[in-house]
């Protein structure tokens, strides 16, 4: 799942701390790096689920990857739509703001779905960076009533999956603020680190 990396549309919380230009730079760099690391792996097929829907034709996305529109609704509604509409077989969904994602972690998630109904990759803030479903004998609906963008997202989703077999990928940190960006500097490269506060404030105006 990816948002078109344009000013005002991506990483708005991060933009308030490091400036709009810095937030867009992070979003563009992180998405490109993630696609380079995991999208070409022959063990799975990659589709970029784009928001907003009008961005599906954006030149930000490499032409060799399939794309789909996320559609409307909250995060849960959009993820459920992806899971409902994907071709047959297990599906794993990830975002583009977790610099620590590697191909082996995706492979582990698919392997877990061989014996589990769902798999989750916990994030350090109480959410999760990965969700996958086996999707048989039916597609589960684990996102109802989940409190997104807070410390309860993982727990709420697990409550919806009570009675089903759940596996876990590694715990990773996402980038929602300047502290998360600094913590991921070695993974992202120095060019996405925030500049001085004065420069960041100028970018935000």
pTM of the model: 0.88
Task: Report pLDDT for 191.
Answer: 47
- What element of type H or E holds 129? strand 128-133
52 neighbors 8 (Cβ within 8 angstroms): no
Task: Report pLDDT for 188.
Answer: 67
Closest C-alpha to 115, from 44, 170, 165: 165
Assigned CATH for 2-204: 3.90.550.10
90 neighbors 72 (Cβ within 8 angstroms): no
pLDDT tens-digit profile, the chain (205 residues): 999 999 888 888 899 999 999 999 999 999 999 999 999 999 999 999 999 999 999 999 999 999 999 999 999 999 999 999 999 999 999 999 899 999 999 999 999 999 999 999 999 889 999 999 999 999 999 999 999 988 999 999 999 999 999 999 999 988 888 888 887 776 766 445 555 443 333 333 3
Task: Report pLDDT for 189.
Answer: 60
Q: 87-116 in b/e burial notation, b at 16+ Cβ within 10 A?
A: eeebbbbbbbbbbebeeebbebbbebbeeb
Task: Report pLDDT for 198.
Answer: 35
Q: Which residue ranges make up each domain of the chain? A: 2-204
Distance of alpha carbon 126 from alpha carbon 170, whole angstroms: 13
Residue 198 bridge partners (DSSP)? none
């Amino acid at each position: 799942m990816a948002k078109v990396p344009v000013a005002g549309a991506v990483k708005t919380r991060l933009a308030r701390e490091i400036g709009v230009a810095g937030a867009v730079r992070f979003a563009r760099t992180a998405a490109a790096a993630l696609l380079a690391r995991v999208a070409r792996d022959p063990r799975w097929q990659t589709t970029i689920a784009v928001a907003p829907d009008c961005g599906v034709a954006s030149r930000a996305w490499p032409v060799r990857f399939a794309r789909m529109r996320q559609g409307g609704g909250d995060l849960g509604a959009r993820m459920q739509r992806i899971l409902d509409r994907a071709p047959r077989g297990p599906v794993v969904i990830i975002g583009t703001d977790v610099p620590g994602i590697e191909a082996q972690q995706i492979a582990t998630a698919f392997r877990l779905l061989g014996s589990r109904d769902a798999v989750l990759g916990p994030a350090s803030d109480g959410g999760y960076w990965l969700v996958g479903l086996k999707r048989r004998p039916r597609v589960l609906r684990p996102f109802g009533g989940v409190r997104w963008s807070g410390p309860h997202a993982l727990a709420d989703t697990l409550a919806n999956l009570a009675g089903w077999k759940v596996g876990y990928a590694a715990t990773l940190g996402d980038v929602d603020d300047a502290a998360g960006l600094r913590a991921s500097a070695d993974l992202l490269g120095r060019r996405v680190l925030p500049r001085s506060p004065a420069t960041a404030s100028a970018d935000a105006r």
